[in-house]
Structure 1
């Protein structure tokens, strides 16, 4: 996508998404202690609550992985903007419609290629 003002708009949107996600992560973690570490606090575990703690730890790990993937997708989109490749499908090279980018600014593929990708990789996480 060669239109610099449009890329600038998306760069601002992505920077805002990144800042909000980082703020959300910090708020959820309550400072420097991660959710998983807090879930393992032995003072918080009553007798018989280990199954709940294990479930909370597993949920925290899944959330951490999702948040990490979201941050990576945002950073990758910002890098594509810097490289002049933002808005181009990574599979076919066609320009991704602006409406799709507004709906999902980290998207990698046009609709047709995303559909083919999801059919070929049914367990893959959809484009963020």
Structure 2
């Protein structure tokens, strides 16, 4: 991938990273995390424990999703730095620029992504 195109994606990824971090800070609303806040709420509230548990579980799931997003962004930035950005990790072909614009953290070309999703689906058959 050419350097100007890599620079464009690097800026896009850095903005995505800043946005995720800003979202985390806004959602936490302070120095403690949502899980800790939910725990504090549980200690002082004598109300609906099921609702408090559900809110804590949701907060933890959101934290996990945000951590995964940051990890994917950081991995893409590392691939830019090493010159591997835009190459499918499975087959090594160039990932189409349109796909990278739609999903700057993409690891695979569409064909290999489809195969990976099918393999993941067959590993966990539905009941």
Task: List 4+ stretches of structure 1 deviating above 4 A.
Answer: none
- How do residues 78-93 of structure 1 correspond to structure 2 at under 5 angstroms? 78-93=77-92
Residue 31 of structure 1: how far off its partner (Å): 1.4
Check if 1:19 corresponds to 2:18.
yes
Partner of 1:119: 118
Looking at structure 1, the residues matched to 30 and 111 of structure 2 have their Cα atoms a distance apart, in angstroms, of 42
Cα distance in 2 for residues equivalent to 1:22 and 1:67: 8
Q: How many angstroms apart in 2 are the aligned matches of 1:114 and 1:33?
A: 37
1:70-107 Cα offsets, whole Å, 9 max, x none, are: 00000000000000000000000000000000000000
Unaligned runs of 5+ in 1: none
What is the number of equivalent residue pairs in this alignment? 121
> Which residue in 2 is equivalent to 1:46?
46
Answer yes or no: is 1:109 the counterpart of 2:108. yes
Q: Structure 2: 5+ residue runs without aligned partners?
A: none
Task: Identify the structure with the greater helix proportion.
Answer: 2
C-alpha distance in 1 between matches for 2:30 and 2:10: 28
CA distance in structure 2 between the partners assigned to 1:38 and 1:123 by the alignment? 39
Question: Cα RMSD over matched residues?
Answer: 1.4
Matched residues in 1 for 2:101 and 2:15: separation? 13
